[in-house]
């Protein structure tokens, strides 16, 4: 069997394969580092158990939002009976999300940048001022 222009074709195939596999061998042996949210709070536990918070904090926030705005509630009694103020960003309440997790950039943003979500909440809710 004869192959016309064999040289060009083979070079072309090599260039093509190299380009298409570029991301694989370029990142060889290096996984993107997983995010390390810094806790920076003296408290021992979150509003709900940590595994639940990891996976479902956005759902909890939606529940809080509806309960506060639509039902006029302000207190959340968690599954282990502790009371928290249902509030996202009010730092005068020590038991709001940002009351405990006071540095958004070092906590929330660490994960969110990694997974590429940008909650629009901060268009309205005011980020706690970073104190240095």
Residue 88 is classified by DSSP as: S
Residues 19-58 that bind other proteins (CB under 8 A): 48
Q: Between 27 and 66, whose beta carbon lies closer to ligand HEC?
A: 66
User: Which one of the spans 1-9, 14-22, 34-42, 120-128 is the region binding other proteins (CB under 8 A)?
Assistant: 120-128
Q: What does each C-alpha distance from 12 to 23, 48, 69, 86 come to in angstroms? A: 19, 57, 62, 61
Contacted entry of other proteins, ligand HEC, none for residue 15, CB cut-off 5 to 8 Å set by kind: none
The DSSP bridge partners found for residue 84 are 76
d(CA 112, CA 108): 6
Q: Which residues bind other proteins (CB under 8 A)?
A: 48, 65, 67, 69-81, 85-86, 89-92, 123-126, 128-129
């Amino acid at each position: 069997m004869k192959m016309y222009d064999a040289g060009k074709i083979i070079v072309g195939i090599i260039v093509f394969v190299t380009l298409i596999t570029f991301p694989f061998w370029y990142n060889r042996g290096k996984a993107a580092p997983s995010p390390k949210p810094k806790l920076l709070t003296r408290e021992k536990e979150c509003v709900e158990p940590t595994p639940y918070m990891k996976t479902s904090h956005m759902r909890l926030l939606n529940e809080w939002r509806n309960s506060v705005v639509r039902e006029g509630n302000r207190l959340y009694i968690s599954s282990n009976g502790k009371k928290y103020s249902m509030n996202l960003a009010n730092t005068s309440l020590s038991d709001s999300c940002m009351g405990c997790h006071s540095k958004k950039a070092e906590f929330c943003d660490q994960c969110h940048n990694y997974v590429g979500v940008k909650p629009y909440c901060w268009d309205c809710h005011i980020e706690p001022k970073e104190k240095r």
